[in-house]
A and B are shown apart, each in its own frame.
Chain A
Amino acid sequence: MTRPSRYVPLLYIVFLLLPIYWLVNMSFKTTNEILGSFTLFPREITLENYIAIFTDPTWYMGYVNSLTYVLINTVISVLVALPAAYAFSRYRFLGDKHLFFWLLTNRMAPPAVFALPFFQLYSAVGLFDTPIAVALAHTLFNIPLAVWILEGFMSGVPKELDETAYVDGHSFWSFFLKIFVPTIAAGIGVAAFFCFMFSWVELLLAKTLTSVAAKPIAAVMTRTASTSGYELGLLAAAGTLTIIPGAFVIYFVRNYIAKGFALGRV
């Protein structure tokens, strides 16, 4: 490998971090400094914006709401995707290929198409403005993805494992829960990571399905941007805080990302 190419990843990371730096930088500035001057780092560091967020329930409850529906969604998606992925990886059955493609088509449905019908559907069943509504709505694209990822991991496990377990006298569920699930733990980690990711970043459906009680943080931010003028510092602080849960999750799965992908869908 030639020497200069070593710097490509470094340059790329600098490019990735620049806008993030700018956001963090702004979150520590006073409104006067943001609008009045152009400074590469805050002249007088202020925590005003962060204090405003942590003392106002509409703000911090936004984080609680978001995390609630993201976690519910991740659990539901992975739990129902596990047996389905097992079925796809081990059996042929009537309509299996069509079913698999149909599931994937839901990953392709633009949320903009479904926003209004979703609002009507969840209002009709009385779940509107609850975290459960958003969690269920997000399963639309997360279940197909989880099935897709898990199916890849499961197909990598030889079928002899199943057969040996049955010979050893395991029942199906005892085999599935005690032997099979631990074997594909990496795959479950990767699937959960993607479910978390796509549910955490989605806003259109989350915003459509909530009004007051379950409003996600991302929607609280859009409100601030539009109603109370343009409080850039506050917006930047809220944005910075939304990066943190994601960073945590990546940190925990960092070893799985490369290894997991390599075992699974490659």
Chain B
Amino acid sequence: MNKTFDNKAWLFVLPVVALVAFNAVIPLMTVVNYSVQETFGDNVFFWAGVTWFEQVLQSERFHDALLRQMFFTFSILLIEVPLGVAIALTMPRKGPWVPVCLVLMALPLLIPWNVVGAMWNIFALPDIGLLGRTLNALGFDYNFTRQPGDAWFTLILMDVWHWTSLVVLLAYAGLVSIPDAYYQAAKIDGARPFAIFRYIQLPKMKRVLTIAVLLRFMDSFMIYTELSVLTGGGPGNSTTLLSIDLVKIALGQFDLGPAAAMSLIYFLIILALSWVFYTLMMRNEQQ
């Protein structure tokens, strides 16, 4: 669309900018402020320069949390995106079952995150949970509160349960927007199902899938509530992802300086990676 150049459009954006700035800039500056100071209590602060940043960047604890975070984010992206697309492809396009499917599938998205954590905790407990009990009955030695491997399995399964539907809904919306004429043309040409997928469905879903990947990437990097209820970062530190570690330092130990420095580094990592996604997405759109 040709857009008119008019700086008066700023007036329309002003309320949004004012509200978001109040919520974003002031707290961000508070974090920046803490990240360069040292305190011994009593509200007396000293300039600390980049000490905290150096400390965080060199600490093994941060490296480990970051690695676990990366592993988590990429695992769930690798599972949820293909699975979501597969489910969207097999869903009926028309008929009375469509709204039923959509409502049931969207259900996990609207459950408060701590309830999701609590629900999976109850579901997976080895003695009274359906999943835990079943796995043990099948001969697996499963206990997610004791064994790191099991904790990871449960965590990833929970995230797949929680968020695959978002990918399904987005991919499905992309699919239903394809006009029937495309399929008829493909039929006349004798295209195989894979060719239809590769040359018609996939290109049409590209845009929604980019949104899905971007949203899942950002949100999985911030996962906190479900995880803290499910495993609390344990057993040991085995499922301590970045946000859990951050809250432990900030609210548990009240080390404001290192926590603030870590917050900024954490935020910058998300920002940098999302910027790459965003730029790629915008470039696709302009083509």
Contact = CB atoms under 8 A, between A and B. Distances in A.
Determine if chain A interacts with chain B: yes
Interface of A: 1, 5-6, 8-9, 12-13, 15-20, 22-23, 26, 34-35, 38, 40, 76, 80-81, 83-84, 86-94, 96, 99, 101, 103-118, 120-121, 136-137, 139-140, 143-144, 147, 155, 158-159, 197, 200-204, 217-218, 221-222, 225, 232, 235-236, 239, 242-243, 245-247, 249-251, 254-255, 257-262, 265-266
Interface in B174-188: 174, 176-177
A246 B111 contact: yes
B105 interface: yes
9 contacts: A9-B105, A12-B164, A12-B168, A91-B8, A110-B243, A112-B222, A114-B28, A117-B30, A251-B103
B62 to A, nearest CB: 14
Interface residues of B, number: 98
Given A84-B16, A221-B115, A118 B27 contact: yes
Nearest to A238: B115
Contact of A9 (B4, B87, B119, B275): B87
Interface of B: 1-10, 12-13, 15-17, 19-20, 22-24, 26-28, 30-31, 86-87, 89-92, 98-99, 101-115, 118-120, 122-123, 127-131, 133, 161, 164-165, 168-170, 172-174, 176-177, 193, 204, 207-208, 211, 218, 221-222, 224-225, 229, 242-243, 246-247, 250-251, 256, 259, 263-264, 266-267, 270-271, 274-275, 278
Contacts of A8: 86-87, 90
The main secondary structure of chain B at its interface with chain A is helix
Given A106-B24, A116-B251, A242-B111, A87 B9 contact: yes
Contacts of B102: 250, 254, 257-258
B113 A86 contact: no
User: Which of B24, B108, B127, B221 counts the most chain A CB atoms within 10 A?
Assistant: B24
B16 A147 contact: yes
B26 A117 contact: yes
Contact of A246 (B110, B225, B274): B110
A109 B267 contact: yes
Contacts of A91: 3-6, 8-9
Contacts of A258: 98, 102, 169, 172-173, 176
